[in-house]
């Protein structure tokens, strides 16, 4: 079993290019190298020169030495001028670090059509189940030819965000264990590695400054700037990794405890269950608990997951078809979430705070998670909670995520025995939550808090024993020595939005389209993992958080790639098309028997 401890040493430090921003003055990177592909020319050169000087960054350039050509190739692959890369005793380390910070975009013409479709569009879905006004209707049942092909963009057709994402660096991309419900190439079980980690069992950390520099690079920032949350391509990376490590979709070749990676999935801020839909399609958990503060979502839930006929039909779309005796249980609670000090209050989401929302009062009681789970669950779900060995939590509560976490300390401290090495085994090791700067600002004002931002959120989560990562091309660590206040300042600045002058290329990506608008729409997601989790190093390597991590590569042996000229039957066999539902094997049924 791999160690979860990352090596303490940091990779060599250097600063990736960015347009002028006030936060640059707060970044202190001694012995850094500034990647100046956008610096050497243009009207902002002098300002960037001063900014570099304020960071003790020398702009001397040395191009001598036998490895000059090698440096040139490395720089070219990053759109970086090689004249800023220095030689010297740390040259080899710098070269390796530069290679792992590749900001080049994928050559889409080389990606097989079926794989490109999987990466660009949502997985198959019963479109008739979508309500009127659901934005998923725009893409449900569509193909690349319906205006979603990133290779054939038109200035006259609105740019879909999923398509836009493929015009940016992919970063790491773990394979898909539950086709067709992923945005990645299918895993080649069992004949090749299933994680993009190579042979390394070590995760060497980049410095906080290097991670920040990568995030704000002009070629990278639009990929982190999720409007309404991080892009599906990036979110599903950790779902895939967790599915590979803890689940069992390949029954004949893997020794697994169960099909599902988790016994419970807890969806806080669930609306009527849209994230739960996506998780259940990939057999992510045995049972699902949903909580939302808008009472109207309970009615929709009753028509969907609260309806046995709907669940029976829904199960035919799952990656692995469940037998009738082991169908997942879905349960919904109507509560607004906060911490203990918020409990007892009332939240009315129909009070006009959200444009276009209903105006008829729709109050919901505010409670903390520990007062609700497991105490307010049905008797049957309480039994299932008690015997559950693992739970995954998703949180999206409009800026109240920090308060919600503060109110679930008991849940996060739930234990389930020990691991083989004696370490405590916790019920909850993994979470995903939203980071919405504008939402947090509203909460801070409403509650009159001195500070309530990304820094306080990361500090709280770290104090509870978890590591925090910003989801994107690379999962950027924000805790355990990786914090930099520049993450805070940059995230809250409206000057880094799609139409700002700081990122002129960003506008070309989003316009025309839904995000072609002024203002700070930035909202991303955070991945949270318990630092003592035995597979922590393996997971960080696969998600691109380490120097040793690998970038997306079509030749990666973990992928199975369909031949472009083959017919659709081969695509179905590899999971690139939705196969007809069929019953599981007897071994599959046995794996689903509840422990």
Share of the chain above pLDDT 70, in %: 73
Please compute the mean of the pLDDT values over residues 292-314 and round it to a whole number: 93
Angle separating helix axes 91-100 and 68-77, nearest 10 degrees: 20
Residue 9's pLDDT band (boundaries 50, 70, 90)? Answer: very low
Q: Which residue has the higher pLDDT, 354 or 94?
A: 354
Q: What is the pLDDT of residue 6?
A: 39
Q: What is the pLDDT of residue 363?
A: 92
Is 40:81 a contact under the CB 8 Å cutoff? yes
Distance of CA 156 to the CA centre of its chain: 30
Residue 256's pLDDT band (boundaries 50, 70, 90)? Answer: low
Q: What is the pLDDT of residue 337?
A: 96
Residue 415, token pair as written in the block: 């234990």
| Dihedral sign from CA coordinates of 279, 280, 286, 288 | positive
Residue 400's pLDDT band (boundaries 50, 70, 90)? Answer: very high
Phi, psi of 363, deg, nearest 5: -65, 150
Q: What is the pLDDT of residue 92?
A: 42
Query: Could you tell me the pTM of the whole model?
Result: 0.81
Q: What is the pLDDT of residue 575?
A: 55
Q: Where are the domains of the chain?
A: 13-100, 113-286+297-305+313-328+379-573
Q: What is the pLDDT of residue 589?
A: 40
Q: Report whether pLDDT(153) > 70.
A: yes
Please compute the mean of the pLDDT values over residues 74-85 and round it to a whole number: 34
DSSP state for residue 84 in the 8-state scheme: G
Please compute the mean of the pLDDT values over residues 355-378 and round it to a whole number: 91
Is 395:433 a contact under the CB 8 Å cutoff? yes
* DSSP reduced 3-state for 543: coil
Least confident of 195-209, 327-341, 525-539: 195-209
The closest alpha carbon to 553, from 95, 110, 183, 101, belongs to 110
> Tokens 């940059």 appear where?
490
Q: What is the pLDDT of residues 179-193, one digit of tens each?
A: 999 999 998 876 545
Q: Report whether pLDDT(46) > 60.
A: no
Q: Which residue has the higher pLDDT, 527 or 56?
A: 527
Q: What is the pLDDT of residue 257?
A: 56
Q: Report whether pLDDT(222) > 90.
A: yes
Q: Is 67 exposed, middle or buried (0-12, 13-18, 19+ CB in 10 A)?
A: middle
Rounded to the nearest 5 degrees, what angle is found at the Cα of 547, between the Cα atoms of 68 and 197? 115
Q: What is the pLDDT of residue 216?
A: 94
Least confident of 144-153, 420-429, 586-595: 586-595
Least confident of 178-182, 297-301, 320-324, 372-376: 320-324
Q: What is the pLDDT of residue 322?
A: 66
Q: Report whether pLDDT(522) > 80.
A: yes
């Amino acid at each position: 079993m791999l160690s979860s401890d990352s090596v303490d040493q940091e990779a060599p430090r250097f600063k990736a290019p960015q347009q002028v921003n006030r936060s640059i003055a707060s970044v202190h990177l001694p012995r850094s190298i500034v990647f100046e592909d956008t610096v050497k020319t243009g009207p902002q050169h002098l300002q960037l020169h001063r900014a570099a000087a304020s960071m003790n960054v020398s702009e001397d350039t040395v191009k001598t030495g036998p490895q000059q050509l090698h440096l040139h190739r490395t720089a070219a692959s990053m759109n970086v001028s090689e004249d800023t890369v220095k030689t010297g005793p740390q040259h080899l380390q710098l070269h390796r670090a530069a290679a792992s910070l590749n900001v080049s975009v994928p050559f889409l013409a080389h990606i097989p059509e079926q794989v490109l479709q999987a990466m660009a569009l949502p997985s198959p879905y019963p479109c008739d189940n979508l309500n009127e006004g659901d934005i998923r209707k725009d893409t449900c049942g569509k193909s690349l030819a319906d205006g979603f092909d990133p290779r054939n963009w038109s200035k006259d057709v609105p740019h879909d965000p999923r398509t836009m994402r493929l015009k940016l660096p992919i970063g790491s991309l773990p394979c898909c264990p539950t086709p067709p419900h992923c945005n990645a190439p299918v895993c080649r079980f069992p004949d090749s590695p299933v994680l993009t980690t190579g042979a390394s069992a070590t995760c060497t950390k980049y410095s906080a400054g290097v991670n920040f520099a990568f995030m704000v690079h002009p070629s990278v920032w639009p990929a982190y700037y999720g409007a309404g949350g991080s892009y599906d391509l990036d979110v599903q990376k950790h779902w895939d990794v967790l599915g590979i490590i803890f689940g069992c979709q390949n029954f004949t070749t893997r020794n697994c405890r169960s099909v599902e990676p988790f016994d419970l999935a807890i969806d806080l801020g669930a609306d009527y269950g849209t994230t739960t839909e996506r998780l259940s399609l990939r057999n992510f958990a045995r049972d699902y608990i949903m909580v939302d503060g808008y009472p109207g979502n309970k009615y929709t839930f009753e028509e969907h997951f609260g309806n046995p006929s709907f669940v029976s039909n829904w199960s035919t779309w799952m990656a692995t078809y469940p037998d009738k005796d082991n169908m997942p249980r879905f349960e919904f609670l109507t509560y607004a979430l906060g911490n203990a000090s918020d409990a007892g209050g009332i939240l009315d989401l129909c009070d006009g705070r959200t444009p276009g929302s209903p105006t008829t009062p729709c109050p919901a009681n505010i409670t903390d998670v520990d007062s609700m789970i497991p105490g307010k669950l049905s008797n049957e779900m309480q039994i299932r909670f008690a015997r559950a060995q693992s739970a995954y939590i998703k949180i999206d509560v409009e800026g109240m995520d920090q308060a919600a976490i503060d109110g679930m300390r008991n849940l996060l401290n739930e234990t389930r025995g020990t691991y083989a090495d004696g370490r405590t085994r916790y019920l909850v090791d993994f979470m995903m939550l939203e980071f919405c700067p504008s939402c947090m600002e509203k909460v801070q004002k409403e509650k009159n808090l001195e500070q309530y931002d990304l820094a306080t959120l990361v500090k709280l989560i770290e104090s509870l024993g978890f590591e925090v990562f910003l989801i994107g091309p690379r999962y950027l660590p924000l805790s355990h020595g990786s914090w930099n206040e520049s993450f805070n300042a940059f995230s809250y600045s409206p000057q880094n939005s799609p139409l700002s002058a700081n990122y002129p290329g960003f506008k070309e990506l989003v316009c025309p389209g839904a995000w072609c608008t002024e203002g700070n729409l930035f909202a991303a997601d955070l991945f949270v993992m318990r630092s003592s989790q035995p597979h922590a190093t393996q997971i960080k390597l696969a998600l691109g958080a380490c120097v040793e991590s690998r970038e997306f590569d079509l030749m990666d042996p973990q992928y199975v790639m369909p031949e472009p000229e083959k017919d659709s039957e081969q695509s179905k066999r590899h999971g690139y098309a939705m196969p007809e539902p069929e019953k599981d094997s007897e071994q599959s049924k046995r794996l689903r028997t509840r422990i």
